[in-house]
Amino acid sequence: MTYEACLDYLYNRLPMFSRIGAAAYKKDIHNTIALCEALGNPQQQFKSIHIAGTNGKGSTSHMLAAMLQQQGYTTGLYTSPHIKDFGERIKIDGIMIDKNFVIDFTQKTKDICQAIEPSFFELTVAMAFCYFAGKKVDIAVIETGLGGRLDSTNIITPILSIITNVGLDHMNLLGDTVEKIAVEKAGIIKAEIPVVIGESKDKTRSLFEEKAKALQAPIYWAEELYTIINAQIKCDHQYIDITDNTHQHTETFELDLTGQYQIKNLRTVIAAEKILHTLGFPIDEQHEKYALSHVRALTGLRGRWDVTGHAPTIIHDVAHNKDGITQVLQQLQSTYAQSHWHFVLGFVNDKDITDILKLLPANASYYFTNAHIARALPHERLSAIAATLGLKGKSYDDVNEAIAAAKLNAQPEDVVMVCGSFFILAEIKD
């Protein structure tokens, strides 16, 4: 079996959420348990950090992985979905999973796959755990897929749990209120295992407190431990002043991720770093500082406020829900208020996009598009919905055509913002 044939099998023979949506979502973790038991329970053979959240869990995972690997710990990183290459999902020290391992694992698990019919996500989670165990990683950073309580990754017992925030997304699967979604995210809290909460709301704080208390899990609130004082962007880097409220000490952090939403993610990471020190994974200041200023190079993180062109400014971002789009709009307003904005937008068809579209300005230019997956919302349909809300523009079946049209229409001082879906960014030609 070639690597290409192997990926074709994984993508097309197994139920894949990005391809078919809710039908691929298994509302229990029995398949993952069965898979991992058949494989010798690899998830028990390495230490891990478990990260959930509506937004920011990918960036938080990559920042932590960068710091740990720069310190010299052999560091696994499991995230999803990928943008360009399947190997983005499973990395050790920033290097994507060996293709031969993917082939061998897929062939080795075909019989059990026929017996239990796992989803694509369930199998790739087991693949990651086997890869990390076989390579004897010192620690692995594991990002949840959806929710937390019933997520396939939730068979691990980590040394630290992190919940970045809670917002409204995947409501057809996780619940239609912030409280219901918070319960799902809180499902990663384990007995006596410390948990860091990146952002809390009145509606969610008590839920996290109750779950942590019931499990005797020490709970830490990043917002209380650290205060963000100031942030500014210079030369494609962000400089953030954060005060340690325990010691009343203010420190400047340089970050190569320039999305303003990364400020809160960094605060969560710094809070987690402090706890990791007590758990046997100290990170010294020199390695911390270097890692945070080189996250992209160390881990390969993409799609987070990526400025890919100038005159006009072209930005790619995976923002795809109400909270994410709100943060994008806030940064556009604070940085490019005097520029005309061109939005290249594409969404999936199982998301309620009306509230998202209501956030967008009517005086911007719009280029509606779609990814070429079954879950994609057709660009004609997106254009029609947007028009009812006063957002007018042309629609394109290919994101590259939409970007080309935006660039053609834009003045040098304008901004072209490409967002709405991981899968839109995946189809942009490098």
Tell which residue, 359, 360, 385, has the closest CA to residue 370.
385
Task: Summarize pLDDT for 296-327 with one digit per residue, the tens.
Answer: 999 999 999 999 999 999 999 999 999 999 99
DSSP H helices in 239-284:
262-278
The bridge status of strand 341-345 relative to strand 237-244 is unpaired
Rounded Cα–Cα distance for residues 371 and 418 (Å): 13
- Please count the CA atoms within 13 angstroms of the CA of 115 that sit on its side-chain side: 10
- Please count the CA atoms within 13 angstroms of the CA of 271 that sit on its side-chain side: 29
- Burial label for 223, CB within 10 Å (0-12, 13-18, 19+), is middle
Running DSSP on this structure, what letter comes out for residue 350?
Answer: T
Tell which residue, 395, 386, 379, has the closest CA to residue 354.
386
Rounded Cα–Cα distance for residues 137 and 292 (Å): 21
> Which two structure tokens, joined as six digits, stand for 211?
């779950």
Choose between 333 and 169: higher pLDDT.
333
Rounded Cα–Cα distance for residues 39 and 33 (Å): 10
Average pLDDT of the residues of the chain? 93
Task: Summarize pLDDT for 257-293 with one digit per residue, the tens.
Answer: 999 999 999 999 999 999 999 999 999 999 999 999 9
Residue type, 355: D
Choose between 1 and 182: higher pLDDT.
182
Domain boundaries defined on the chain:
3-299, 306-426
Rounded Cα–Cα distance for residues 40 and 283 (Å): 31
Task: Identify any residues that bridge with 141 across adjacent strands, giving them in sequence order.
Answer: 49, 77
The domain 306-426: what is its CATH number? 3.90.190.20
Tell which residue, 60, 135, 37, has the closest CA to residue 91.
135
- pLDDT band at 171; cut points 50, 70, 90: low
Residue 145 has pLDDT above 60, yes or no: yes
Q: Which long-range contacts (CB under 8 A, 24 or more apart) does 38-43 make?
A: 38/109, 38/112, 39/109, 39/126, 39/129, 39/130, 42/126, 42/129, 42/130, 42/132, 42/133, 42/134, 43/129, 43/133, 43/155, 43/156
Residue 68 has pLDDT above 90, yes or no: yes
Task: Summarize pLDDT for 370-420 with one digit per residue, the tens.
Answer: 999 888 999 999 999 999 999 999 999 999 999 999 999 999 999 999 999
Peptide bond into 361 cis (omega under 30): no
- pLDDT band at 230; cut points 50, 70, 90: very high
pLDDT at 173: 59
Q: What share of the chain is helix, strand, coil (3-state, %, to 5)?
A: 45, 20, 35
Give me the sheet containing 249-255, strands edge to edge.
226-234, 237-244, 249-255
* Element (DSSP H or E) covering residue 90: strand 90-92
SS3 249: strand
The bridge status of strand 90-92 relative to strand 75-78 is antiparallel
Task: Summarize pLDDT for 6-45 with one digit per residue, the tens.
Answer: 998 888 877 654 444 444 455 679 999 999 999 999 999 9
Tell which residue, 293, 300, 301, 364, has the closest CA to residue 328.
364
- Is 306-426 the same fold as 3-299? no
pLDDT at 169: 59
DSSP 273-295: HHHHHHTT----HHHHHHHHTTH
> Which two structure tokens, joined as six digits, stand for 326?
């709100």
- pLDDT band at 201; cut points 50, 70, 90: confident
pLDDT at 24: 46
Reported in sequence order, the residue ranges of 203-261 that DSSP labels E, i.e. its strands, are: 219-221, 226-234, 237-244, 249-255
> Which two structure tokens, joined as six digits, stand for 151?
């997520």
CATH class of 3-299: alpha beta
